[in-house]
Structure 1
């Protein structure tokens, strides 16, 4: 995968990525069937994405590119909850207990040395309204400039509503288009490889929903070849004539590569500040599959 710092040191590759992605699809289907809540719409959206990625598959590499034929599929499940929310002045106020279950898939695939394809989907179930929400996105990332240690790229992803249990698009979920600039730099700390990734994006949403500015930062360090530490921040700011809100989240996790190309990630996430937003706290786990 070239200079992408999130690649395992062993650099193992799969001789038959399509066959292994089929196995990944079966595992994902079993996980969603055994989830605390049955989510047929979520399963349909994930299945649609992973079937597509059986032909072209991708990863969470930030600003960096994948080499042609290389990629990663990441399946994430998480639970968050909240008993407080930030009001319009940014002050915390108690609210009825809120719970959310999420299941996400993120896939990237190297098409050329300067172009990486991106596919993703997400489904969630929220306890207060007992409603399911889902979306799917597809796009790509283009390398604009690079050196031995730095890379600059641009990414664009179009999002559509997810599928219901009949395979039809969900009504009421807005479509969106996200464009962003990404900058990454690798470094060495006490002889161990690390990286910093910064992203600034603008998301246009159809209908009455507000557009959003996104600022995401990631710091990664590999203390050993099979362990990676990640610290991340995610800031979202509404713009335009829609509802006004803002929230800042921090996330910390550790990735353990249990064998070449397969890793497990566990982490914690939480909202540290906001305006007209929930103060969420939660945990998540991810399965990484590199090929």
Structure 2
């Protein structure tokens, strides 16, 4: 619990402005892509040391979009999902609320994933920021193949070229332990539409491993 309190405190202290989060609609004809690599410290010898993820989002209309998420680790594809997203509030509303429904595979098994995401931008001491909560379910036909996820994000954008943000990830499978980890990241814009993203994360429970994150974002 002490580590969890520390991570939540860091969120309040360090947290990038409107992020590439699911609550914010892209807008018609606008897209976003990111490629991320995470390198573990080897705490779990049997787990892959390097994990890659690809995220693509594209706006079909002002409030409807498509998202693709793919994870790769140890020569396998643990996740490959395509999602249809719907923003439930007007684009200029201060709150951002979206629903998504997707399908694909999780660990090689056909799966569906419904999602609910809530976010809001804010300004604190003249600095723009955002907060977002994403609740997701994962359902497969495998034994114990049902799980719930909660991702919390809080960030600040101290300058137009710099974003710092902290995230807490919680995952609970139907028949397994609850996993919680926290990650703090710093993103820097190197081009009008390109950002470099660097971060570190720590497992809180049940595994206390550490990971280095290296990523690239782009908008199109």
How many residues of Structure 1 are paired with residues of Structure 2 in the alignment? 203
Tell me what 1:104 maps to: 53
What aligned pairs does 1:106-255 form with structure 2 within 5 A after superposition?
106-125=55-74, 132-146=76-90, 148-160=93-105, 173-239=108-174, 243-255=175-187
**Cα distance in structure 2, aligned partners of 1:155 and 1:270:** 28
- C-alpha contact (below 8 Å) 2:168/2:183 kept by paired residues: yes
Q: Distance in 2 between matches of 1:97 and 1:135?
A: 19
> Aligned equivalents of 2:46 and 2:146: distance in 1?
28
User: What residue in structure 2 maps to residue 5 of structure 1?
Assistant: 18
Paired with 2:93 and 2:83, the residues of 1 have a C-alpha distance of 26
Are positions 1:73 and 2:73 aligned together? no
Q: 1:216 to 1:180 in 2, by over 3 A?
A: same
| Structure (1/2) with the larger helix percentage | 1
1:203-244 Cα distance to aligned partner (Å, 9 max, x none): 1122214311111100111000000011001100112xxx32
Quote the offset at 1:248 in angstroms: 0.4
**The residue matched to 1:156 in structure 2 has which SS?**
strand
Equivalent pair of 1:81/1:97 in contact (CA under 8 Å): no
Secondary structure in structure 2 of the residue aligned to 1:235: strand
Structure 1 distance, partners of 2:102, 2:47, is 29
The RMSD of aligned alpha carbons is 1.9
Q: Which 5+ residue runs of structure 2 have no aligned equivalent?
A: 1-16
User: Normalised by the size of structure 2, how large is the TM-score?
Assistant: 0.85
Distance, in Å, in 1 between the alignment partners of 2:72 and 2:47 is 17
In structure 1, how many angstroms separate the alpha carbons of the residues matched to 2:110 and 2:31? 26
Structure having the higher strand fraction is 2
Q: Spell out structure 1 runs of 4+ moving beyond 6 A.
A: none
Are positions 1:269 and 2:213 aligned together?
no
Any stretches of 5+ residues in structure 1 without a counterpart?
A: 7-59, 85-95, 126-130, 162-171
